[in-house]
Amino acid sequence: MAETSTSSSNSFNNTNGGSPLSNIAQDHLVTILLLLPVDSILCFAMACKKFRALTASDTLWESICRRDWGPKSVEALKASNFHHQLPWMRLYKQVSRLDSVYCHKLPNPEGELVFPSPRASHSLNFVSDCLVLFGGGSEGGRHLDDTWVACIGNDFRRMLKWQKINSGIPSGRFGHSCVVIDDFLVLFGGINDNGIRHNDTWVGKVACHETLGITLSWRLLVVGPDAPSQRGAHAACCIDGRKMVIHGGIGLHGVRLGDTWVLELSENFRFGTWYEIVAHPCPPARSGHTLTCIRGTRTVLFGGRGLGYDVLHDVWFLDIHEGQPKWVQILYELQNVPGGVSLPRVGHSATLILGGHLLIGGGEDSYRHRKNDFWVLDISAVPSITMQPTTLNSVQLLAKMWKRLKANGYKPKCRSFHRACTDNSGRYLFVFGGMVDGVLQPADPAGLRFDGELVLVELVLQL
C-alpha cells in the first residue's frame, strides 16, 4: 500500500517542480481550451510563458474562430485570403469590437436594362456564390413572380449583372419565406395580390453551366398531410443545417398567428415532413418579425407587429434540442439600452454576421417612421439563458447585448420590408428593395414607394 501511495503521489508531481498542467500534451491542452470561453482562455495565458505562447498560437485561434463563428465563415475567409492580413487572434478581437459598417451602393452596369424592378416583401438569399431574388410586392399592390440571379463570387464591389431566370414558378407572391439549406433554397407560403394565402413548399436549385450560364430550377416539395396553415409575413430560418423553422405571420381573414412549425427534409430534398412545436410560454402572435439561427438548433426571434397592431421590441430565444423545444424570453427595459427608444420595429432584417451576432437593420415603428440604422444583437452576452424568463437589469450588460453601429459611406434610404443576406464569410451584407418614403403625390397620399437599389454593407475591421 505504501508503494502504491508513493507511486500515485509521484505521478501527480511535476519532475521539473512546475505545475502538473505543464506535463499535459499540447494537443490535449488545446482540446481543453476549446471547451472554455475566451475570457477563461486569456486568463489561462497568464499562468506561465509556456501557456502564454500556446494561447497566442494562430492554430488555436483559428480553431476558436471556427468554434464561435462556424466553419463556413472561417473557410470563406481563408478562401479569400483575408485572414492573411491579420493573425486569427487579432482578427477575433477586431470582430468582437465591431462598432461600424461602411455602405456601398452597387450600381447596375451602364446601358444594362435587365435588372429587378423595385419591390418589397420579396426574398433574397446567398447560395452557390450567387444572389437569388424571388417575387415580392410592387406598385399598386401587385405581386411579382420573377426569379433573378446575380453571380457574386469573391468580387463584392463590382457592378452586378442580374440574370432573369424564369417567371410563373412558383406563382407570384409576397411575404413568403425562403431559406438556404445546403445548396438548396426552400420557400414557403406568401400572399398574392388577390389576398390569397399560400402554404405550399418549394425547393430551388442553382446551377452554373458553361453554355447555358446560370440556371435555377424550382419544384414543388411533396409533404405529408400535416402542414402549417396558409400565411404570409411570417418569419423563418434554417436550423441544424437540414431543417426549416417558421413562426407566426398573417393567416386567413387577416388573423395574426403565433404557432411554430418545423420542416424536416429527406436526403434527396424531394420529400418533407412538417410538425408543429408546442411549448409554453411562447411568443405572442405577430407578423413582420424575424427568426434567425445563431448556431445549431438555437434561434432568436425579434420584433414584429402584434395583435393590437403595436410594434414590438421583445427578444425570444428558441432551442429545439433533442425533441424538447423551449422558448425563453429575454426581458429588458428600453430606457436601459443606449438609444434603445428606437428599437421597436417591424419589417426589419436580422442577419447572422461574422462573429456569431445578429445585424438588425431598417424597419418601421408604430407611426410608420422608417429607419436606416444598424444594430448588433449579441445573445452570448446574456448569462443563464436557459432560465425562464431571463431578466436583464444591468445597463452595462445591456450595452454588451445591444450596440448601435456607426454607418459610413453611402447613406441608404430609410426602408422597411426590404430583404438582406450575407456572403459565406458573414462580413458582407447585401440589402435589396423595400418600402421607402416618397414625394407626396395627390394620388399617393401615403407618400410611399418601392425601392430597387442594392446596397452592400461591409463590416469595418481595423486592419
- In this predicted model, what pLDDT tens digit does every residue of 283-296 receive, in sequence order? 999 999 999 999 88
User: What average pLDDT does the segment 300-313 reach?
Assistant: 95
Same-domain check for residues 48 and 144: no
15 in any annotated domain:
no
**Is the same domain home to 135 and 162?**
yes
> Is-contact 208 132, C-beta < 8 A?
no
Beta bridge partners of 217: 205
Rounded Cα distance, 259 and 236, in Å? 12
Distance CA 231, CA 289 (A): 14
**CA atoms of 313 and 341, how far apart (whole Å):** 10
- Degrees, nearest 5: CA angle 66-68-69: 65
Q: Is residue 313 part of a domain?
A: yes
Within this chain, do residues 69 and 113 fall inside the same structural domain, yes or no?
no
Contact (CB, 8 A) for 83 and 91 = yes
Note whether 145 and 172 are within 8 A (CB).
yes
pLDDT tens column, 376-399? 999 887 776 665 666 777 788 888
Asked if residue 6 is part of any domain, the answer here is: no
Do 138 and 285 lie in a common domain?
yes
Cis before 389 (ω within 30): yes
Give 50-98 pLDDT, tens digit per residue. Answer: 788 888 899 999 999 999 999 999 999 888 866 667 899 999 999 999 9
Q: Are residues 256 and 360 in the same domain?
A: yes
> At which of 96, 128, 161 does a domain end?
96
- Judged by average pLDDT, the poorest of 69-78, 120-129, 173-182, 401-410 is 69-78
Distance CA 72, CA 359 (A): 18
CA 179 to chain centre: 10
**Nearest-5° Cα angle at 419, 109 to 340:** 125
Q: What is the pLDDT of residues 321-344, one digit of tens each?
A: 777 899 999 999 998 998 888 999
pTM of the entire predicted model: 0.89
- When pLDDT is cut at 50, 70 and 90, the band that residue 141 belongs to is confident
77 and 167 in a single domain? The answer is: no
pLDDT, one tens digit per residue, over 214-258 is: 888 899 999 989 999 999 999 999 999 889 999 999 999 999 999
Give me the number of domains the chain comprises: 2
Task: Report cis status (omega within 30 of 0) of the bond before 281.
Answer: yes
Asked if residue 9 is part of any domain, the answer here is no
Tally of CB atoms within 10 A around 155: 9
Q: Based on the fold, state whether residues 258 and 386 are members of the same structural domain.
A: yes
Q: pLDDT at position 113, please?
A: 63
- Residue 326 and residue 270 share a domain: yes
Same domain? 193 vs 63: no
Q: Which residues contact 345 (CB under 8 A, 6 or more apart)?
A: 303, 311, 313, 360, 362, 363, 364, 365, 371, 416
Whether residues 42 and 180 share a domain: the answer is no
Is the residue at 17 inside a domain?
no
Task: Name the one residue in this structure whose C-alpha cell is 432568436.
Answer: 300
Positive or negative, the CA dihedral 301, 310, 173, 433 is negative
- Same domain, yes or no, for 207 and 76? no
> If pLDDT is split at 50, 70 and 90, which confidence band does 157 have?
low
- Residue 14 covered by a domain: no
> Final residue of a domain: which of 66, 96, 126?
96
Question: CA angle, corner 312, sides to 309 and 316, nearest 5?
Answer: 130
Q: Where are the beta strands (DSSP E) in 138-253?
A: 143-151, 163-167, 177-181, 184-191, 197-209, 213-220, 222-223, 235-239, 243-250
CATH number of the domain that 150 lies in?
2.120.10.80
Give yes or no for residue 438 having a pLDDT over 60: yes
**Segments forming the whole domain that contains residue 58:** 23-96
* Distance set, CA 411 to CA 80, 85, 158, 370, 451 (Å): 27, 28, 18, 14, 14
The verdict on 80 and 107 lying in the same domain is no
- Give the DSSP letter string of 377-398: E-GGGSS-TTSSSEEE--HHHH
In a domain, 53, yes or no: yes
Q: Burial code of 247-260, b = ≥16 C-beta within 10 A, e = fewer? A: bbbbbeeeebbebb
Which stretch of DSSP H or E encloses residue 317?
strand 315-321
- Domain membership of residue 261 (yes or no) is yes
* Helices (H), ranges, 80-127: 88-96
Q: Strands of 163-167's sheet, edge to edge?
A: 123-127, 130-137, 143-151, 163-167
What three-state secondary structure class fits 49?
helix
Q: Where are the alpha helices (DSSP H) in 307-445?
A: 395-401
Structure-block grid coordinates of residue 111: 446601358
Which residue, of 47, 71, 96, is where some domain finishes?
96
Residues ≥6 apart with Cβ < 8 Å to 392: 330, 331, 332, 336, 382, 398, 401
User: Which of 171, 129, 136 is CA-nearest to residue 152?
Assistant: 129
Cis peptide before 283 (omega within 30 of 0): no
